[in-house]
Every structure is written in C-alpha cells, then in structure tokens.
Amino acid sequence: MTHALLDAHKTLTELREEREDQGRNPSLNPTMGDIINHRFSRRSLLTGSLAVAAIASTVSPLALLAAKEAKAATASAFDFDEIEVAIEESHFVAPGYDASILLRWGDKVFADSPEFDPMKQSAEAQLKQFGYNNDYVGFVPLEGSNERGLLVVNHEYTNAELMFPAWAKIGKDKDGKDKVEWGEHSPEQVAIEMAAHGGTVIEIAKNDGKWAPVLDSKYNRRIHLGTVMEITGPAAGHLRLQTKADPTGKKVLGTINNCAGGVTPWGTWLMAEENFNGYFGGEIAEDHAEARNYKRYGVPAGDYVWAKFHERFDVSKEPNEANRFGWVVEVDPTDPASTPKKRTALGRMKHEGAESFINKDGRVVFYCGDDERFDYVYKFVTRGTFNPNDRAANMSLLDDGTLHVARFNADGSLDWIPMEHGQGGLTAENGFESQADVLIEARRAADFLGATKMDRPEDVQPNPKTGKVYCLLTNNTKRKAGQEDAANPRAENAFGHIIEITETDGDFAATKSRWEILLKCGDPSVAEVGASFSTATTKNGWFGMPDNCVVDADGRLWIATDGNNEKATGRTDGLWAVDTEGEMRGTSKLFFRVPVGAEMCGPQFTPNAETMFLAVQHPGDAGLATYENPATRWPDFRPDMPVRPAVVVVTKVTGGKIA
C-alpha cells in the first residue's frame, strides 16, 4: 500500500473518532497533565530528553554507547525475535509462531448458519453469523481445559462503506480532491448493521494442533440489538429508564458499541458499552430534564441513521432510551437461554473494559476507563465476597457495591473517591435525588467529586502477580499549545502514556494508592516527543496510542494499539510486549502487526499461555476506502470477498508458552 493512497484523506474511522471524542468535561478539575507537571517539573531535568542533553554534555559518546549495549544485553522477560514495523496488506507475527484466521465477519456460528454471501446479505443471515468489528476477546475454559472453551467476542460497530457493495463511492470535495461519498441506508441495511452489533459466544477446540469453531455446540449464541436484557442494580426501574416500550424501566433490547470487556472470576462475560451516543438522533429541548445529562455524554451524536427507522433511537420521541445504554452488561456464556443483565451499580459512561481481581478479603474489584478526552478512571468494589465453590452465589455480586473515581495527586498518591449519594455534593440540591441519579449521571457526579481529568482512559488492567494496575491513556489531541508538561511535552499529544498504580499493601479495594508513569509513548528518537522507552527499545519497539492490554499467566504486560497513523508514523497498529520489572523496565518489543487500516484488539490468552487470541478490527479502512476499493482484501484476498474483520489465533510452532 503506497503512502500516496494513505495521504488521500482521513479515514472514516478517524472521522468517527473525532465525532465521538470531543472532550465534553466542563469541570475545573485538574487534568492529568496538570498533576504530572506539578509532580515532575523539578525531576524533569534528570529524565527524558532533558536528561539525554544534560548527560551528553558531561559523558563521552563511547561511554553512552557502552551503557546502552550493556542494558540491551540484560535479560528481558520475553523471548522472541522482534519483527519490523511496516505497512502491508496482511498481518505478520514473530518468527516461530503461527497466526491463523479463526473467525471472520460472516462466518458460521451455528451448524445451520448460511454461508456468507456479501452480495446477498440479510439480517436473518447475519444473526447466525459472526458479527462485525470484533474488539474484546475472552476465553472461558470448559472443564478446565486449555484446548476447549468458549470464545466470547464483542462486536463494537459497523463500517457500512466496507460492508455493502456499491454503497459508497469516490467523489470530489469542494476543492476538487477525491473523497468518499456515503450512500443512503435502506431499512434492510440498518437491520443488518443492528444484527452485526453485539457479541458472539462460540465454542472452539484444538484438534491436531489447530483451533477451530465447534458449530454444533449447545453453547453457541449471538447477542444483538434484538436480545432481551434485564436492567438490574440501583438504577433498575427508575423513572429515567422508563420508556413507552418498557414502562417498568427494567427491560431493554440489546447492547451497542461494545468495546473492551472482561471475564469475571465466576466465568461470566462483561460487555462494556462505549460510544453509545453515536446511535441516537433527533433533538432534545434545552429545557428538557435530560438536556444537561445528554450534553455531558454527547447525546445525540447522530453517527448512525437508525433513528430514521426506529423511534427508540430518536431522543425527541423517546428521550429516556439513551439512559438505558452506557452500562456494563453481564452474560452467562454457559447458558445460552440466560438473560443478559445491565449492571447499573458500575455506573453509566463510555465504558472501556471491565477487568477484575479477587481481593485478599474475597471482595471482587473491577477497573474501567471512561474513553473520552478529559474523563475519568473508575473502580468498583463488590459488597459481597466471591465464593469459589458456589457459582450461583456469585451471580448477583455486581448489583451491590461501591463505585469509586480516581483523583491522582501530585505527591504520587491516589484517592479512590466513593461515589455515594449524599456525599461530596452528590445531593438533591445538585440534581442527584438518589443513588440511581449518581449512577445514571456518573460523569457529572465525578465532576463534583474532583476526579482527575485524564487523557482518554481505555483499558485498566490489574496484575495479580505484582499487585500493580496498568491504566492505558491513549492520547489527547485537544491539548493546546501552552499546556505542555514534562509527561506530555507537545501540543496535540498524539501518543498517550501508561500509568502504573500500586494498590496499598496489596489491597485492591483500598481507597488510598500510589501511582507512577510506566511509559510516555511515542518515538524516542524525536527529542520533542519526550518518550520514555528504555534505551534497549529498538526503532521497531516503540509505540503510540496504547488501547487494550492483557497480563499473561506469568504477570507480563502486552499492549495493543489503536491509532498509529500510518501516514505519520510509517507503521500499522500491533501488539507489543512490555517489560515492567528489573533493569529492562520500559523496554518494548513488537510481536504482531495488523494489516493496513486495521486496529489491534483483544488480546487474550488461554490459562496456560500457549494460545493467544487477537482481534483485527476495521482492516482496510485507510485512504479512499470503500467496499470496492479497500486498502486490503485481508484475510481472504479474493476479488469476490470484501475486507473482513477477524479473530486471529497465535500459537508457537514448536508448542509451549508464547514468548
């Protein structure tokens, strides 16, 4: 793929992200940049690019080179040959590993599913086929096996211009330059999009060294916009969740924009609803009771035209429907007849992730980010305790507990502030009549509590081996000139950073913690960027825009990225292994890269760490991308097949643990 094509215009995915990610936090709470600047302003003389300049003036180049080589020789926790960055039409994995396509958009989920025919798509067919734009991937072992289990996959959103033949075309803008012109949706195309959202539960098994779906499994299931779900927890039944279709406020059809997620210790699947605002259209009056709430969440954004065909997505006709999205959904993958539940105790926001850890007192702690510029990091602590001998006893743990929001202090301490009605301004005088209001308007509640405004918090992943928690901050291009600080020494911060949290005395339910910066991301060879990768990191090892992550069975951190602008960085997104301990701390190595136009999602391991699952989302969405003109036809590379998002399964050719 040539750079000329990539330079043609912003991708449609980038345009969507701009609309979804405006940074709507009006509070005067300090930003993470303010906190980092205050904490590290004096220390910056001895760190980052300033340290290089200072040291280089007093130490010879040969001494610096020797120090770099000595550090590079130190043992990393990862053992694989790093691959090179590139922009290519296919994926690429480290030598000695096999990366095979496991499931693609349109593949069969059931034995009686129709074959995928892109020219004859229908909603009925899509409901029995693997959905679009796979994001979170989880693995639930069956009978404790590492070679048989349930794969649970979120389907975040749809790219109509890449899904439907002849729907989009190449036209001209006002300056005569080429641009993609979108078509008009038909009712059937909207129905297909709705069927392609949600998620998939599918049994997979490893036979003769190869993984494959088990299509006749009793567990297989598609979750979609027609799936009946129960609303539970403190906000269930509240007036603000009641609609004409559901006057009880306790039932809702489906789930949307499921980005990252999690698997609970009791084996249920958590689907996090992220950019739900984009699905709503219409207008809501400025004096409407929900106007302030919806402004804080960016509702309606009108990215989809569903409101034209379904009144529930038109806020002028059904003003409470948007309050029924933005939650964490719990699904029991072992029971295909079970009703998924939206757990309101975890708060309503643009949820990114729902990763958990069993605390030493038996309570379960869940972490998540609210993925928008200048929004917050949260954790939820259950009131009840996990029972490893009684799965049924754990099935209501997420309905009762305390939601906390993070305040990062300049002295390196962190306060987890309880979000409880009646405390810290969360009172009727400020519009919070009950705990239900606190949870429905979690963003505004966090504003009152003085939480720290973060640079797009995405995955927040606890490490049970070390007691650390990793918070991935993707970027903040809304940072203006004059707001630079030691951690983000550039306007329009495009690369993001990673915060490492240490929970006090290994107590993940603690309300007082410590924090440090693990990495400031970006190209370390450009001094102005201020990246902080170790000197052992190669030109292929640095990354930007950290998004999803996983901690493997050995406590090692893997980072997936979203947004490595190919025309700017000369690289695609991918999966990097990051050392977090010892002399190699801050060293990163590239293990897997995606095809052109794609985002790296997942990642996930089997418990024995011998199989890795990766999700490749929106491949081909680069340049003037349409169904007829994708940047790649991955993974089929056939003229009669469109580009297709897919799950990739990675194993070591000789067997054994990965890396």
Give the per-residue pLDDT at 530: 85
Q: What distance in Å separates the CA atoms of residue 195 and residue 158, rounded to the nearest whole number? A: 10
**Which residues, in sequence order, are bridge partners of residue 605?**
612
Give the per-residue pLDDT at 27: 76
Q: What distance in Å separates the CA atoms of residue 83 and residue 77, rounded to the nearest whole number? A: 17
Among the ranges given (7-21, 50-64, 132-146, 450-464), the one the predictor scored with the smallest mean pLDDT: 50-64
The SS3 call for residue 271 is: strand
Give the per-residue pLDDT at 13: 60
**Which residues, in sequence order, are bridge partners of residue 203?**
150
- Model confidence band, residue 16 (pLDDT cutoffs 50, 70, 90): low
Contacts of 62 (CB under 8 A, 6+ apart): none
The residue written with tokens 């609970």 in the block is: 264
Give the per-residue pLDDT at 26: 82
The residue written with tokens 């190699």 in the block is: 584
pLDDT(8) > 80? no
Q: What percent of the chain stands above pLDDT 90?
A: 83
Q: What distance in Å separates the CA atoms of residue 434 and residue 412, rounded to the nearest whole number? A: 33
**Residue boundaries of the structural domains of the chain:** 3-274+326-652
Which amino acid would we find at residue 553? A
Answer positive or negative: Cα dihedral of 595, 598, 600, 604: negative
Q: Which helix (H) or strand (E) holds 202?
A: strand 198-207
Give the per-residue pLDDT at 47: 34
Cβ-count burial of 383 within 10 angstroms (0-12 exposed, 13-18 middle, 19+ buried)? exposed
Residue 482 DSSP one-character state: T
Token output for 311: 């009144």
CA 312 and chain centroid, separation: 26
**Each residue of 451-465: pLDDT tens digit?**
998 999 999 999 999
**Each residue of 477-518: pLDDT tens digit?**
786 776 554 333 456 778 999 999 999 999 999 999 999 999
Token output for 566: 């190919």
Residue 376 DSSP one-character state: -
Query: For residue 156, what are the CA distances in angstroms to 191, 398, 429?
Result: 16, 23, 37
Q: How many C-beta atoms surround the C-beta of residue 40 within 10 A?
A: 19
Q: How many C-beta atoms surround the C-beta of residue 113 within 10 A?
A: 19
Give the per-residue pLDDT at 49: 33
Alpha-carbon dihedral 287, 256, 472, 621, rounded to 10 degrees: -110
**Each residue of 49-98: pLDDT tens digit?**
333 333 233 333 433 344 444 444 468 999 999 999 999 999 999 999 99
Provide DSSP, 51-120: HHHHHHTTS-HHHHHHHHHHHHTSPPS--SPPPPP---SS-EE-TTEEEEEEEETT-BSSTTPPPP-GGG
3-state SS of 229-270 is: EEEECCCCCCHHHCCCCCCCCCEEECCCCEEEEEECCCCCEE
Token output for 428: 């009727």
Contacts of 7 (CB under 8 A, 6+ apart): 567, 623
Give the per-residue pLDDT at 28: 73
- Model confidence band, residue 35 (pLDDT cutoffs 50, 70, 90): low
Query: For residue 565, what are the CA distances in angstroms to 87, 535, 542?
Result: 11, 24, 14
Which amino acid would we find at residue 154? N
Q: How many C-beta atoms surround the C-beta of residue 30 within 10 A?
A: 18
Give the per-residue pLDDT at 1: 32
Among the ranges given (8-17, 52-61, 261-270, 460-469), the one the predictor scored with the smallest mean pLDDT: 52-61
Note whether 137 and 144 are within 8 A (CB): no
Q: What distance in Å separates the CA atoms of residue 77 and residue 46, rounded to the nearest whole number? A: 27
CA 254 and chain centroid, separation: 19
Give the per-residue pLDDT at 14: 56
Give the per-residue pLDDT at 481: 74
Label residues 114-143 b or e (16+ Cβ within 10 Å = b): eebeeeebebebbbbbbbbbbbbbbbbebe
**Which residues, in sequence order, are bridge partners of residue 365?**
357, 381
Give the per-residue pLDDT at 410: 84
CA 482 and chain centroid, separation: 30
pLDDT(567) > 80? no
Mean pLDDT of 130-140: 98
Q: What distance in Å separates the CA atoms of residue 98 and residue 7, rounded to the nearest whole number? A: 32
Q: What percent of the chain stands above pLDDT 70?
A: 88
Contacts of 647 (CB under 8 A, 6+ apart): 101, 102, 103, 104, 134, 137, 151, 153, 602, 613, 614, 615, 616
Query: For residue 80, what are the CA distances in angstroms to 77, 95, 586, 656?
Result: 10, 8, 17, 13
Contacts of 256 (CB under 8 A, 6+ apart): 197, 198, 225, 273, 276, 279, 325
Label residues 303-325 b or e (16+ Cβ within 10 Å = b): bbbbbebbbbbbbeebbbbbbbb
Q: What is the CATH number of domain 3-274+326-652?
A: 2.120.10.30
